[in-house]
Structure 1
Amino acid sequence: MTQMAERLDTDAQELLEVVADFCRTKIAPRAQSIDETAEFFPDLLAQAADIGLQGLIFDDDGKVDPSMLSLAHETTELVASYSGAVALGISIARLHGYLLATYAPDDVRRRWLPGLIDGSARGSFALSEPHSGTDIRAGKTVATTVDAETFSITGEKAWITQSPQADFCIVLTKLDSKDRGAATAAFVVPFDTPGVTIGKDEPMSGFRGMPMANVHFDNCLVPAAWRLNVDGFRGMLEGLNLARLDAGCYGVGFMRAALRETSEYVRNREAFGRTLADLQIVQEKLGHMYADYLAARGLLRDGVDSFARGGGGDAHLISAAKMFAGDAAMRHTIEAVQLHGGYGVHLHYPVQRLMRDAKIIQIIDGTSEIHALMLGRAAARADWSKAEVNA
């Protein structure tokens, strides 16, 4: 290892220690109340920004530093092991910042990126619609050309995370037509723009405390200068791949928390004259949980590395990582609840919250079923006789 590499490794470890302390002293005491009350937590996001978490993947000039993506996702896992909602709030700031730093015109980037990094601004990612989630091409939100300098956006976006507390959104639209094959664009739209309306905050079973609502656009006039410099569909898919990596990291964080909470519980819970930790069936369950945690973590590291190399990453690898982590998190948080017995379904014990949060991972950013379908289609077409298969 070179001296520079050693220094970078030391810096990363020091940051992870700071984040771990932030999680234990600031997030952990609040995680239960955030879940129970579903109250937003701007103070925790501000403290995370002070540590540098939202700006971790950007250099001093506001450009994306791909070498920092791996460390950023390690911090996401760590924060998620204490609160999925807080982890989501931090990582979506990086997601919006990534798209702005990569594709936004200079004026738009300068307006919003510094605030995302320092925590003074918040965005949302307006992709899904009431009748089109995974099937992005079925969207009906349209940006109609008014003149060379202006578009009019009309449509509705659904399940838009953080929109009730956000300052702007990055919205995917079709151009001048609702046809499935119509050209697409992505715009950065401030929420104080006339014609934009935020719906009511939708109560969810998981990631409580992170607000979510529909966003309505009614003849919303936007300058052409707010358009991202990328085909909307391609840009959103790149953002979606980053969001899928984040989602997988939440799942790994939930498994980490399940291991932490359950191992402590079984070490102290006695039955039939010995602790639950002494029972082979309990050891077997924890062994499978630990193995899947390590496997999911490894898949996600490979997925993050592929994204860092550019081009939006290896879509199949990222799909596999997100799907595996989400499904494993669901499976093992259920197991954690079971191992806790009656305490597992008590609202004051965190494992039931982990279970509810884990279920969300199987749905957001493409359901587990659609990821399995895409991977299965690729696997069926691949030549598995080759020494190195690239499905």
Structure 2
Amino acid sequence: MPDSSFLDWPFFERRHKAWAAEVEAWAAQHAEALAGEYDTDLATISLVRAMGEAGLLRVPCPEDGRLDVRSLCLARDILARHAGLADFAFAMQGLGTGPVTLFGTEAQRARVLPAARAGTALAAFALSEPEAGSDVAALATVAEQDGNAHYRITGRKTWISNGGIASTYVVFARTGEAPGAKGLSAFLVDAETPGFRIESRIEVTAPHPLATLCFDAMRVPADAMIGRPGDGFRVAMGTLDVFRATVGAAALGFARRALDLTVERATERKLFGATLFDQQMSQAAIADSAVDVEASALLVYRAAWLKDAGAPRVTREASMAKLHATEAAQRAADRCVQIHGGLGVTKGHKAEELYREVRALRVYEGASEIQRLVIARAERERRTSDPA
């Protein structure tokens, strides 16, 4: 039985316990089976469809436009513990539609959210470029006005999750209202738009649908813009401010599974006439992973609670949660592999799978190094800002 005692923490309300139980029941029955499909694209599509049919996508794609970050984190925590691809499928429906949910018009929401909520259409968030990942202000994709009612978008995006299987993409491009980050805008783009093509698919260590996108003077209507001209950076950062803590939650789920496997293996494995658990070094590894899990949970759910409580920005807290939880999950996965010995590096074993799954979390949605910069600057600002 998974440990659910953390649900008694004051961060949560009764509805969160009910939601966690609903996600756990679905994941126990479906997550690993669907994620085990040989074709990664098909597995992702099947997971999204099944989640939609079960009603789970009402949380990342809400009808009322309100994203409950604690519920998002709980789902990612639980799904990641069961299957990394299940977590991915859930999270990308939220991230891909997040700009529309948070900043879109009623018409844009009506166009995208019902199908995303039902699981019949996948969504994608197209921000990163070959020369612009962490430095959003360096985006080179350009959107130029074409008359009064259209824009033409030219450029490339890469490392785009759900690239090649999504129906809609939120594309960020330079419209030039001001230099740097202030001259970006966001556009809602259909996958079938002329001038849009998938340049290549990207294979990574833990299989997920990823692609490089190319826009060849792609013509989109002006009402495809999300927010106002020049609002792109605000839209991107506002969306990531919600979803960054949920990356920490996914890492937490991986770390929980790694800890479970570590304890199980140490208890069962016999070595020198005793169990592996009887070795003090094994106990130390288990203790360190247990502390990492608890500390990560506190940071993740604090950030989520603050956002749900109405804090205008939780950039510092979300960055702390993502940084600690992802780094801690890597340590927990490494200890798990070490305790399993040869089995831990055997392809197809869960310990080996966790080790690969965790690694990307320390890179995407802001690498650990970027989180450290964000946190350090926030700390300086807290000490130098005028208390009045």
Match of residue 248 from structure 2:
248
> Per-residue deviation at 1:88?
1.3
The answer to whether the Cα contact below 8 Å between 1:199 and 1:213 also exists between their aligned partners in 2 is: yes
**Where do residues 84-99 of structure 1 align in structure 2 (5 Å cutoff)?**
84-99=84-99
Q: Structure 1 residues 309, 57: closer, same or farther in 2, change over 3 A?
A: farther
- Alignment match, 2:152: 152
C-alpha separation in 1, matches of 2:153 and 2:30: 41
Q: Which residue of 2 aligns with 1:117?
A: 117
Counting matched residue pairs gives 373
* Offset of residue 203 of structure 1: 0.5
Aligned to 1:3: none
The separation in 2 between residues aligned to 1:330 and 1:18, in whole angstroms, is 28
Partner residue in 2 for 1:103:
103
Partner amino acid for 1:212? Answer: L
CA distance in 1, matches of 2:238, 2:181: 19
Q: Secondary structure at the match of 1:131?
A: coil
User: Which stretch shows the higher mean deviation, 9-18 or 242-251?
Assistant: 9-18
How far apart are residue 368 of structure 1 and its match? 0.4
Provide closer, same or farther for how the CA distance between residues 53 and 283 of structure 1 changes in structure 2, counting only shifts above 3 A: same
Tell me how far 1:65 sits from its aligned partner. Answer: 3.0
CA-CA distance at 1:104 after TM superposition: 1.5
Structure 1 gaps, min length 5? 1-7
Who is 2:55 aligned against? Answer: 52
SS in 2 for 1:134: coil
Give the Cα separation in 2 of the matches to 1:74 and 1:371. Answer: 22
> 5 Å matches for 1:122-133?
122-133=122-133
Query: What does 1:271-286 align with in structure 2 at a 5 Å threshold?
Result: 271-286=271-286
Residue 268 (structure 1) aligns with: 268
Residue 200 of structure 2 aligns to a residue in which SS?
coil
Give the Cα–Cα distance (whole angstroms) in 2 for the partners of residues 18 and 336 of structure 1.
28
Q: Tell whether 2:348 aligns with 1:335.
A: no
Aligned-partner residue type, residue 136 of structure 1: V
**What's the secondary structure of 2:201's corresponding residue?**
coil
Percent of aligned pairs with the same residue? Answer: 26
Q: What is the match of residue 351 of structure 1?
A: 351
Taking the aligned partners of 1:311 and 1:273, their CA distance within structure 2 comes to: 56
SS of 1:164 mapped into structure 2:
coil
| Number of the residue aligned with 1:236 | 236
CA distance in 1, matches of 2:298, 2:149: 47
Runs of 5+ in structure 2 lacking a partner? 1-11
In the alignment, what sits opposite 1:313? 313
TM value normalised by structure 2: 0.90
* 1:155-170 paired onto structure 2 within 5 Å: 155-170=155-170
Q: Distance in 1 between matches of 2:316 and 2:246?
A: 15
Task: Please name the residue that 1:187 is paired with.
Answer: 187
Mean CA deviation greater in 44-53 or 308-317: 308-317
After TM superposition, give the deviation of residue 191 of structure 1 in Å: 1.0
- Cα RMSD of the aligned pairs, angstroms, is 2.3
Residues 1:173 and 1:312: Cα distance change in structure 2 (over 3 Å):
farther
Matched residue, 1:24 = 28
Is the alpha carbon distance of 1:365 and 1:115 closer, same or farther for their aligned partners in structure 2, counting shifts above 3 Å? same
- 2:212 is matched with which residue: 211, 214, 219? 214
